[in-house]
Amino acid sequence: MMNILNGWKVVRHAKGRDVHITFLSSIADTVYAEVIYPIDEWVEHLSSCGPLAVFTTPEGAIEFMRIIWSEGSEYELHECEYEPSDDETLWCFGNCGGGPTKKITSGIVGLFDDVGFADRVKLGKKISISTEGWVGDE
């Protein structure tokens, strides 16, 4: 039996597309891969990449959003279910970054203690949060 946990996922709602996406990227914002998250469907990590990152507390997810927020941002917070991964390092290999394995836990996600790593994620309900007073939202 699979161990399914509840968590929170920060995604972008892609303009003109009814999908939610995340990017595996370094602190330098080099995009290695795009992961598409339909609502209420299980999504597995890409075969050329390590586990998917989720937050284990809503407070961590909201703080992450506050840090990456900018005016007109398309970021959303969603409840999610996830299957924990044994791998606890974000990484990408080969065509995902055009080179050798790239460990990307040094990025902004590495700043948080409440990050979980998942083999599969199912995006759920969008959580409404106030961004009043956030940088770039003046």
**Residue spans per domain, the chain:** 5-127
Predicted local confidence at residue 80, as pLDDT: 95
Predicted local confidence at residue 25, as pLDDT: 42
Predicted local confidence at residue 24, as pLDDT: 47
What is the CB neighbour count within 10 angstroms for residue 20?
A: 23
Query: Residue written as tokens 């990152």?
Result: 53
Low-confidence ranges of the chain (pLDDT < 50): 24-30, 95, 97-98, 106, 137-138
The CA–CA distances, whole Å, from 113 to 21, 28, 42, 110, 117 equal 23, 21, 25, 8, 12
Look at residues 72, 83, 59 and name the one whose alpha carbon lies nearest to residue 10.
59
Predicted local confidence at residue 26, as pLDDT: 40
Q: What is the pTM of this model?
A: 0.77
